[in-house]
Amino acid sequence: MSRAEALALGLLRRIDPERAHGLALSALRLGLAPLPEAVASDRLRIDLAGLQLPNPLGLAAGFDKNAVALPALARAGFGFLEVGAATPRPQPGNPRPRLFRLAEERAVINRFGFNNDGADLIARRLAKRPRDAVIGLNLGANKDSADRAADFARVLRVAGAAVDFATVNVSSPNTERLRALQGRRALTALLAGVLDARATLPRPIPVFLKIAPDLDRAALEEIAGVALASGIDGIIATNTTLARDGLRDPRASEAGGLSGAPLFERSTRVLAELSVLTDGALPLIGVGGIDSAETAYAKIRAGATALQLYTALSYHGLGLVAQINRGLDAALARDGFSHLAQAVGTGRGDWL
């Protein structure tokens, strides 16, 4: 982390977390934020469902919900970016305060509730996106929708032509009853509708499914079966958790999804389980608690082809992106891997 970045993060931590996040996005949009140099290494290049990534580390959805800072983020060293979640109609989300730092735990709790500018405006911004970056869109549903399952397909029809991949997000804990769409029958129908919408786009794009970490083995078996039968292109494991095991911060009692370091073990166990259940038939994207090269490498060895992070940036800044990629490259070289794909799943037994 550069001195300027450390100073900026220190100042941002003194103010309301949601306001701080807005200021960080404004600094990126205006070109005021320091950006790390990209790490180039043939060892880190990866094919993710046909997407050619310069490195496996992506920016998770939620950081740039409304696609307002893509030119800067495309130069920050990520292998790919995901914006959103976008819903068909704009919505304000849940009442504030709805974002809480748990600094001692290196964690965050949020209950945003899919606040966003709506698919139409986000699509117009994505039409002006940097073309030399891999950029995807997280699909969501309006809170008051009469047909939430259909909302995902609506967003894809509106904005799908402007992105390189799309993610079906049925795992946010902050929209009431949304996670019920992870059941076999509901999920099968929802994914069929999304894939029908994909068929209307000018070019086919990969569709991923983002799942919750709070699922038992039977639920994971069901989701893996639906995913394999549906024709989607990968699974993102995982979203935030409702669990609060072992947390000491008094803000841990706030409602919402927990992300950051405490999510690492739970999400990585789910990732390893899915790696076994899908047996290489679908690429997996590991997310949840990544805050170092060591945790990133553990996700890859647990079965992830690619990775995403978000919460750790609020504690370590964008310089973490280059730090993780350098550390991953060194770990692969140390263990005798000439290409990241060779390491995928080699340590999943440690999590089962």
> Residue 12 has what pLDDT?
74
| CB-count exposure of residue 18 (10 Å: 0-12, 13-18, 19+) | middle
The pLDDT value recorded for residue 170 is 84
Full-model pTM: 0.96
Domain range annotation of the chain:
37-351
Residues 22-27 have a mean pLDDT of 95
E-strand stretches of the chain: 46-48, 51-53, 57-59, 80-86, 99-102, 107-110, 135-139, 165-169, 207-211, 234-237, 257-260, 284-287, 306-309
Q: What is the pLDDT of residues 38-90, one digit of tens each?
A: 999 999 999 999 999 999 999 999 999 999 999 999 999 999 999 999 999 99
Question: Would you say residue 179 has pLDDT above 60?
Answer: no
172: annotated active-site residue: yes
**pLDDT band per the 50, 70, 90 thresholds, residue 148:** confident
Q: Which of 172, 230, 259, 314 is catalytic?
A: 172
**How many whole angstroms separate alpha carbon 317 and alpha carbon 302?**
26
Query: What pLDDT sits at residue 175?
Result: 61
Contact 65, 83 (CB under 8 A): yes
Strands 207-211 and 107-110: unpaired
Residue with tokens 């995807």: 136
| Rounded-to-integer distance, Cα 49 and Cα 233, Å | 6
Q: Give me the residue label for tokens 């000439």.
A: 338
Instruction: Give the whole-angstrom CA distance, residue 50 versus residue 197.
Output: 19
Look at residues 115, 114, 105 and name the one whose alpha carbon lies nearest to residue 253: 105
Which fold would CATH assign to domain 37-351? TIM Barrel (3.20.20)
Contact 110, 172 (CB under 8 A): no
Q: What is the mean pLDDT of the chain?
A: 94
What is the mean predicted confidence (pLDDT) over 163-184?
76
Q: State the number of CA atoms in the 13 A half-sphere of 97 facing the CB.
A: 13
Which residues neighbour 151 within 8 Å (Cβ) at sequence distance 6 or greater?
Answer: 87, 88, 139, 140, 141, 142, 145
- pLDDT at res. 11: 75
- Output the pLDDT for position 13: 79
